[in-house]
Amino acid sequence: MNTIEGASLAPQATIGILGAGRVGTAIARLALAAGYRVKLATSKPAEENSLIIEIVTPGAEAVSASEAAAADLVIVAIPLHKFKDLDSHALSGKIVVDAMNYWSATDGEIPDFVNTALTSSEVVAAFLSASHVLKSFNHIGYHEMEPDALPAATGERRALAIAGDNCAAKTVLRRFIERIGFDAVDAGGLEAGRLFEPGSEIFNGRFNATELNELLHTVRIPT
């Protein structure tokens, strides 16, 4: 198991979120409710985001992208076509969670994701080659996150899949997911992210951990 900066993810750890849209802010509110410190950033200067972030995610800090990238765990929730705007140097060595989806039907064809055998997260990981890229949060709707989050003592919680190539990084993300209200299921390596991409049986479905684990072993890969 590799040593990863922030691998312990203490209860008061900092969560950096790149992207203050509906997905990013929903995750931010869950993280705040769980006791984490949250830093939100967009492509705009922090001062331009401060008021809206204060309203939409009270308690979160509006920061620069570089400051969000310095957090213990970084979640990327920007439009996928902007992934090359990410600062690969600032994210070097960091655990980076790809919560994005490739929607060719709505976003049009993005050359990086066309005519490749790689999953969208593998393309992102190739760009962030010095980061520990994981895939999760992409197969739950932003409007479902807060209503579906439940305490750990609750039976039959909704489960979220994690795909990634670094076991230590996946352990960190699993603990975060479980603390904010969901069970976490290890789908395997980053290439397994295709099992819960748009078009799959898992995408946007509600499953508990047992059901999700079974589907990850039987699901048809979308074509």
Q: Looking at this protein, which amino acid is placed at residue 36?
A: Y
DSSP string, 69-132: HTSSEEEE-S-GGGGGGS-TTTTTT-EEEE-----HHHH---GGGSS-SS-HHHHHHHHTTTSE
Please state the CATH superfamily assignment of the domain spanning residues 14-218 in this structure.
Answer: NAD(P)-binding Rossmann-like Domain (3.40.50.720)
Alpha helices, H only, 20-77: 22-33, 46-56, 65-69
Q: Is 134 helix (H, G, I), strand (E, B) or coil?
A: strand
Q: Say whether 188 sits in a helix, a strand or coil.
A: strand
CA within 13 Å, CB half, 1: 9
Residue-wise pLDDT tens digits, 88-146: 999 999 999 999 999 887 778 889 998 899 999 999 999 999 999 999 999 999 999 99
Query: What's the pLDDT tens digit per position in 45-102?
Result: 999 999 999 999 999 999 999 999 999 999 999 999 999 999 999 999 999 999 999 9
Domain boundaries, the chain: 14-218
Q: What is the pTM of this model?
A: 0.93
- Beta bridge mates, 98: 76, 135
Q: In this structure, which amino acid lies at residue 52?
A: I
The most distant pair of C-alpha atoms in the chain lies apart, rounded to whole Å, by: 48
pLDDT at 130: 98
